[in-house]
Amino acid sequence: MSAASERAGALISELRNIVSSGALSEKERVELLQSVVKFTTLLEKPEDAITKLLYTPSRFVALRVCSELKLFNQIVEHGPITSKELAHATGVDQLLIERLLRVLTASDFVTETAVATYAPSGVTEALATRLMTGMVEAVYDVGLPGMTAIPEYLRNTSYKNPHDAANGPWQLGRGIKDQQIFSWLQQHPRELGLMQTYFEADRGSRPNWVDWFPVEEKLIQNSGLDKDQVLLVDVAGGRGHELSAFLDKFPNLPGRLILQDQPHVLDDPTLGLDPRIEKKTIDFWVEGPVQGARIYYMKFILHDWSDEQCLQILSHLTAAMDKSTSLLVVEDFIIPDTGCHLLPAMWDIEMMAFLSAMERTRSQWQKLLSAAGLDVLGMYDPPGDGTGIIVSRLSS
């Protein structure tokens, strides 16, 4: 082994020890990850970096097929397991399994222990869960047509920034017109279920806002709430996963917790909510949420829509707010003017593909909320590369 290889091996071992020790904060972890990416870029020749990027879709294809075949579950439950054993368990061609998993072992998504023999890595274990399976299938099955249509859409519109949620890249990729993705999903139950799982899982392993944001200090202190008043309304909160996390963190806070969404979401038989969480339907295009709550919480809602549509939604919400006590808490990406992390930058293009929408910068959030008659009390960046928190109240 060369001296350079030995130094690299020692560096990798040191890095592995640091990560496995759990000593890194989320901020340090993300900063270190950025440094590793820069180190990789330094080592990789430009032409090789471009070639690898061009062939990246093959990894997503392998991931999607293996997810559908439940190969990750088999590897987690029975690994180390051979391709022959996987073929017997699934009824899938053995050679096909080897070709698919070759891409994923090379990506360190699956561990290769011997010839055509596979064991689980941490990524494999994650891919065997309901949430990550749903994420993979949702992005691939629902989202990819919009992503692949972006170049054609932009050519057709003389490279105007997309803004029409009913006629954007996603509609072009699907071959439909004048229909937003959310109404399409109501007509396609399988894809709707995938997207609801996606919304449950989209935080990934990044810390929940209740674990890093000073909730009691900034939102609860001196509120004077009793058990019969509404503490928190999760507006368009899907399966209620964010409310559940809030309740787990603050089980003894007084006040009611209310999940509001459309009937087809709240009627989902898989919805297993704590009985302390109330369900109430809402169509935020035509009505406001429950009146007079202390906190109205919206995660990944306003980033779905243009400023004009957001103002329509917010006009109904602000009409429900109490001028002296209510707060609006928006959880979303807050794009910095420079030095944006890769995740929110990529998410921004996803929003373009799905909804002709976008992630907003700090100044864009300020402008939008001010136009809605709200005073921004603070914008709080997360400890890593995830979503931030914006707190506002009715303008005085």
pLDDT per residue rounded down to tens, the chain (396 residues): 577 677 767 777 777 777 777 777 888 888 887 877 777 777 888 898 899 889 999 999 999 999 999 999 999 999 899 999 999 999 999 999 999 999 999 999 999 999 999 999 999 999 999 999 999 999 999 999 999 999 999 999 999 999 999 999 999 999 999 999 999 999 999 999 999 999 999 888 889 999 999 999 999 987 778 888 999 999 999 989 999 999 999 999 999 999 999 998 898 777 778 889 999 999 999 999 999 999 999 999 999 999 999 999 999 999 999 999 999 999 999 999 898 999 999 999 999 999 999 999 999 999 999 999 999 999 999 998 899 999 999 998
Q: Which pLDDT score, from 0 to 100, does residue 17 have? A: 73
For 147, 300, 341, the CA distances from 346, given in Å and listed in that order, are: 11, 15, 9
**Which candidate in 163, 241, 303, 341 is catalytic?**
303
pTM for the model:
0.88
Who contacts 73 (Cβ-Cβ below 8 Å, separation ≥6)?
128
By the 8 A CB rule, do 323 and 248 touch?
no
Q: Are 374 and 323 in contact (CB under 8 A)?
A: no
Sign for the CA dihedral angle at 33, 34, 40, 43 comes to: negative
Q: Is 303 a catalytic site residue?
A: yes
Contacts of 124 (CB under 8 A, 6+ apart): 72, 75, 76, 79, 109, 110, 111
pLDDT at 18: 72
How many Å apart are CA 162 and CA 356, to the nearest integer?
5
- In the chain, DSSP assigns E strands to 81-82, 110-114, 117-120, 230-235, 256-261, 277-281, 295-299, 327-332, 334-335, 360-361, 374-380, 388-394
Q: List, in sequence order, the alpha helices (H) in 69-220.
A: 71-78, 83-90, 94-106, 122-127, 130-138, 144-156, 169-174, 181-186, 189-201, 209-212, 215
Which residue from 54, 86, 124, 51 is spatially nearest to 99, judged by alpha carbons? 86
Give backbone dihedrals phi and psi of 25, rounded to 5 degrees, phi first.
-75, 170
Structure letter (DSSP) for residue 166: T
pLDDT at 4: 67
Task: Give the three-state DSSP class for 373.
Answer: coil
Say if CB 337 and CB 364 are below 8 A apart.
no
